[in-house]
A and B are shown apart, each in its own frame.
Chain A
Amino acid sequence: MTYHRIAALVVRHLYLYRRSLPRMMEIIYWPFLDLVVWGFITVYLATFQGQMPAVVTFLLGALILWDVLFRSQQGIAISFLEEIWARNLMNLFASPLTPNEFLAATMVMSLFKVTAVSIVMSLCAWVFYGYNVFMIGLWLMPFIVNLVLTGWIIGVLTTSLIMRFGQEAEVLAWSMVFLFQPISCVFYPLEVLPTWLKGVAWINPAAHVFEGMRGLLATHAAPLASLGWAAGLNLFYLGLVIAWFHHTFNVCKDRGSLVRVGE
């Protein structure tokens, strides 16, 4: 992997954000709206604090962490779509850029988005609802790292599907992540799921992160087991989807469809 090629792609995407209001809205406006809506819900639910202790902490914390996963996935998938929309894939893949460098650049963009969105949401939660996401403590970092990894997994999977199936699959860039939301147990504990779905949720790394977060907030116990499962599953799936991305890339080159993606 060569640093300057990864940096070139990152700079190319940063140029886009610099002068595009819709793209900046994706980082500031939508996360802000999300937070406002969920913030009012938690304010309302907080009036029943007696029956539902720590509801504010659970819901707003979960929302901010879910957005980490969501934006991380989008950072990858939308970066790929930007190249399709700009008809730039031929310029990129007829250069010395390798598929791994391309993925690495989208991952850097994903980190950029996650960081920007997290700052916006954390600040708004603190200013408007007096909620401090850092009350989770140092455990917040491994939670975030695992959710970023899960976002990358879904992002690379989405990108591979768009590359393989073309324009018709573009909608997956926005919808794919929501397929994983019910089994990520973001706003409710895993135990409320039906038995058959618990098994499915158990192999989803995000579910372990959110279970761990709830456990930490409720009992202050170190969420080592949850983080261990999440990290193990994440590394396994990440290896798998990157291998699948390479396979799809080669299939597209073989079929001659790589430079026609999106047409």
Chain B
Amino acid sequence: MSSAVVEVRHLTKRFGEFTAVDGISFDIRRGEILGLLGPNGAGKTTTLQMMLGLVTPTSGSIHMFGLDLQRHRGAILQQVNFSSTYMSMPYALTVEENLSIIGRLYGLSDIPRRIDDMVKKLEMAEWRHTLTRKLSSGQMTRLTLAKALLTEPKILFLDEPTASLDPDIANKIRTILLEERRASGLSILYTSHNMREMETMSDRIIFLQRGKIVAEGTAQDIVARFGQEDLEDVFLKLAREQ
């Protein structure tokens, strides 16, 4: 672990009277996997969308690689990517065409080789020429993950990346992510409702409730602080309070 590649300071987002994110600050270091936990409506998605430049913060700042996201959006997003179980890719294109478009969009070199590597890594060979509309939800999740990894990002935002996968593929995905982190120093912001997964994947966890950070530390620190048996019990306690 070394210096912070993401620095979020006093980040706030209000939609009218409603405060979705309330003055949160955190860092992500190079090669770190930071878990973002919280019940529905805690502000996780809004935080992710602000970090992707899709939602403008009301106040506060987001710096990545030492650059301000507001001012250096293009340079930052070139090195960032994301994947979510809830996102989609154009249905009328094949898997390979979709990946090829992403490669062009990010100005990658040697796109066919990169696609071949990704198809092999995520075991997509059987359906690489299939129209995206014909994919199962698990295959779609793998495609969005392939899309995110294809660009070889330095920071990756993952929103429940294994939610619709069977345990075998989910395990392979976690192994791939850990291997990417080890090989390239990839930093990951990770959300999941699978507490066991959060415990095994995350170096640190931030717990959001009503837009505020209510706990921060390793899974063990947080469990100990709330005097619970495990992370799931902490989650249930906080979710029921909300």
Contacts and interface: CB of A to CB of B under 8 A. Distances in A.
B88 A5 contact: no
B19 to A, nearest CB: 13
A94 B84 CA distance: 13
B104 A8 contact: yes
A9 B104 CA distance: 9
Contacts of A20: 92
Contacts of B97: 12, 15
Given A95-B105, A96-B78, A19 B92 contact: yes
A135 B88 CA distance: 49
Interface residues of A, number: 32
B74 interface: yes
A86 B74 contact: no
Given A86-B90, A91-B147, A253-B56, A7 B104 contact: yes
A87 B49 contact: no
Given A16-B93, A250-B56, A254-B56, A8 B101 contact: yes
B52 A256 contact: no
Contacts, number: 88
Q: Would you call the interface of chain B mostly helix, strand, loop, or mixed?
A: mixed
Given A8-B101, A86-B88, A259-B49, A253 B54 contact: yes
A21 to B, nearest CB: 12
Contact of A16 (B56, B92, B107): B92
B106 to A, nearest CB: 7
A98 B76 CA distance: 13
Nearest to B147: A91
B55 interface: yes
A256 B15 contact: yes
B53 A94 contact: yes
Given A86-B91, A91-B87, A94-B80, 13 more contacts: A2-B107, A5-B105, A11-B101, A16-B90, A16-B93, A91-B102, A93-B54, A95-B102, A95-B106, A96-B77, A253-B55, A255-B15, A256-B15
30 contacts: A2-B107, A5-B107, A7-B104, A11-B100, A12-B101, A15-B97, A16-B93, A19-B92, A86-B88, A88-B88, A90-B54, A90-B87, A91-B87, A91-B89, A91-B102, A91-B147, A93-B53, A94-B54, A94-B82, A96-B105, A97-B105, A98-B74, A253-B54, A253-B55, A253-B56, A254-B55, A255-B15, A256-B13, A256-B55, A258-B54
